């Protein structure tokens, strides 16, 4: 089945630790995105990538880092510099920027 | 950057009623999508509709790009329609979500 897979579904970490969220797609899409959603709120863009080995900061990139070494993969690292990391994280992909985007099932990160 | 607004913020309906959700955007857009976020958080694609009208079963959507708005129509609503409906617009490299409309359909 083609789609976007995020793992894990739930993640717990201690404050001060870096954590990496996985996002894999087998849709042959060039563009990939990471969004953050806080309870009762909309989605805010963290980073996006138009093509392999290229990525751009979104509206709330501080405290996060990404890599795009392979077309299929766009992992997100939540660093200890992110002050409020507890949130729901959603990954998406599209053929290109401006085309229909599809989302994974999300990862709920809780930092204690 | 582009601003996306949605109205109403909350909507409560009796099962079987019809509803219209609105999305306004501040600039010309290349892409306009509607999503339904289910209780488990997953975003389900409803429509990819930069302009014109599309229908899918009980749902339909219309985007009037020149007037910078899009409408989502839900007819004969069911309890499974409950959740949050988001519109998202792309302008250049910006892919921006509205704040959402929370719909509750009562049995």
Mean pLDDT (whole number) for B41-52: 94
Average pLDDT over residues A95-99: 88
DSSP A70: B
Measured CA angle at A4 (ends A3, A6), to 5 deg: 145
In this prediction, residues A70-81 reach a mean pLDDT of 96
Q: Please say if the pLDDT value at position A3 is more than 70.
A: yes
> How many C-beta atoms lie closer than 10 Å to residue B46's C-beta?
20
Does pLDDT of A98 surpass 90?
no
Which residue of A lies nearest to B48 if distances are taken between CA atoms? A100
* Cα–Cα distance measured from residue A5 to residue B34, given in angstroms and rounded to the nearest whole number: 21
Distance of CA A9 to the CA centre of its chain: 13
Q: Name the minimum distance, in Å, from the CA of A54 to any CA of chain B.
A: 13
**Predicted pLDDT at A69:** 98
Mark yes or no for CB contact B35/A42 under 8 Å: no
Of B31, B95, B100, the CB nearest to A45: B95
Q: With 80 as the cut, is the pLDDT of residue B93 above it?
A: no
How close is the nearest chain A Cα to the Cα of B101, in Å? 10
Burial category of A86 from C-beta neighbours within 10 Å (exposed 0-12, middle 13-18, buried 19 and up): middle
Q: State yes or no: pLDDT of A1 exceeds 70.
A: no
Task: For chain A, give the percent of residues with pLDDT over 90.
Answer: 87
Tell me if chain B has a CB within 8 Å of the CB of A50.
Answer: yes
Contacts of B4 (CB under 8 A, 6+ apart): B23, B24, B25, B26, B87, B88, B89, B96, B97, B98
Q: What share of chain B is helix, strand, coil (3-state, %, to 5)?
A: 5, 60, 35
The answer on pLDDT for A42 being more than 70 is yes
Please tell me if residue A100 touches chain B, with a CB cutoff of 8 Å.
Answer: yes
pLDDT of residue A40: 87
C-alpha closest to that of A51 among A94, A1, A105, A103? A94
Is B2's pLDDT higher than 90? no
**Average pLDDT in the A15-19 region?**
92
- Across all residues in chain A, what is the average pLDDT? 94
């Amino acid at each position: 089945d083609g789609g976007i897979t995020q793992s894990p579904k739930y993640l717990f970490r201690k404050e001060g630790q870096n954590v990496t969220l996985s996002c894999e797609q087998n849709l042959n899409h060039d563009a990939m995105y990471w969004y953050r959603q806080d309870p009762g709120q909309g989605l805010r863009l963290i980073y996006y990538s138009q093509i392999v080995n290229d990525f751009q900061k979104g509206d709330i990139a501080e405290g996060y880092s990404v890599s795009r070494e392979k077309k299929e993969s766009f992992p997100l690292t939540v660093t200890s510099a992110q002050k409020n990391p507890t949130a729901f994280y959603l990954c998406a992909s599209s053929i290109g920027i401006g085309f229909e985007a599809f989302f994974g099932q999300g990862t709920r990160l809780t930092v204690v | 950057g582009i601003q996306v607004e949605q109205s109403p913020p909350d909507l409560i309906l009796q099962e079987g009623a019809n509803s219209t959700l609105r999305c306004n955007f501040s600039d010309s857009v290349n892409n306009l999508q509607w999503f339904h976020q289910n209780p488990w958080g997953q975003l389900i694609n409803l429509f990819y509709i930069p302009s014109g009208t599309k229908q899918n079963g009980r749902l339909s959507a219309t985007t009037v790009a020149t007037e910078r708005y899009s409408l989502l129509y839900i007819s004969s609503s069911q309890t499974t329609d409950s959740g949050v409906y988001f519109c998202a617009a792309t302008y250049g490299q910006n892919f921006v979500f509205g704040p959402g409309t929370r719909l509750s359909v009562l049995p």
